[in-house]
Amino acid sequence: MARRKLVAGNWKMNGDLAALAEIDAIAAAAVANPAVDVGIGVPATLIGPAHARAPRLAIGAEDVHAVDHGAFTGSISAPMVREAGASFAIVGHSERRAGCGETDADVKAKAEALLRHGLAAILCVGETSDQRNAGKAVATVTGQVRASMPWGAASGWLSVAYEPIWAIGSGHTPTLEQISAMHGAIRAMLTELLGADAASMRVLYGGSVTAENATELLGGPDVDGALVGGASLTAAKFVPIIEAAAALT
């Protein structure tokens, strides 16, 4: 079935108030390409200013805590980011899993926190180069999908992003055959877990997506959009990815 493309950016720990000038052109591209859903995940300090600057653009958080409030110094909760103007959040990014020791159970709980507060979620899964070289890529990723899937998962608020860890920021991308095989395996796992609604859930690709390879990557089977890192920091690099997605609709 046809699913709307979603192109989401992840600024990571980059950006300041001056960088929000990039949001203007990105928001204009989102309006000019209405067949594509567009969002930008920004640092927590920029959620409010970004939303105020571009209220029609989906602004997201790059992470949330699983608990709504409490003694968790330095963390930010789902209701906090929603109040600031976020409409979605990214959970389970490989940099959180690897750098912060987040488990599938942690990711599941964070996604459930987003559901409680009416926020959309992009749930990330992916394998390391060692896992792929050992022939465990599909088992690793589908295992993450199963263990991270939140209660109440549904296509109306949840998307899954496949991000091969070895490709993120490396300039290297898997082959189209590898991406198609993994997205097909994810779709099969979603069908096992969610039944008919799995056909409507978007599965995004993330890992060194650029303007140059976007058309090829986004045109693959079961690729419903992209989670974009470095190329989302400037409109000059991000807008062509939005336009490539729109051209495929």
Residue pLDDT, tens place only, 61-120: 999 999 999 999 999 999 999 999 999 999 999 999 999 999 999 999 999 999 999 999
How many whole angstroms separate alpha carbon 94 and alpha carbon 153?
Answer: 20
List, in sequence order, every residue forming a beta bridge with 38; answer none if it has no partner.
Answer: 7
pLDDT at 242 over 70: yes
Amino acid 73: pLDDT: 98
Q: Which residue type does 191 have?
A: T
Of the candidates 202, 111, 199, the one whose C-alpha atom is nearest the C-alpha of residue 162 is: 202
Q: What is the residue-wise DSSP string for 185-196? A: HHHHHHHHHHGG
- On the question of pLDDT at 1 being above 70, the answer is no
The length of the chain is 249
Residue 232 — pLDDT band, cuts 50, 70, 90?
A: very high
pLDDT digits (tens, 9 = 90+) for 11-70: 999 999 999 999 999 999 999 999 999 999 999 999 999 999 999 999 999 999 999 999
pLDDT at 170: 73
Could you give the domains of the chain? 5-247 (3.20.20.70)
Question: How many degrees, rounded to 5, is the angle at CA 238 between CA 107 and CA 82?
Answer: 40
Place 6 in a pLDDT band, splitting at 50, 70 and 90. Answer: very high
Of 51, 93, 95, 243, which is the active-site residue? Answer: 93
Q: What is the pLDDT of residue 172?
A: 76
Average pLDDT taken over every residue of the chain: 96
Residue 169 has a pLDDT of 72
Share of the chain above pLDDT 90, in %: 94
pLDDT confidence tier of residue 146, bands split at 50, 70 and 90: very high
Catalytic residue among 22, 62, 127, 163: 163
- Is 93 among the catalytic positions? yes
Report d(CA 7, CA 35) in Å as an integer. 11
At residue 235, the pLDDT reads 98
128 pLDDT more than 80: yes
Q: How far apart are CA 9 and CA 225, in angstroms?
A: 11
Residue 168 has pLDDT above 90, yes or no: no
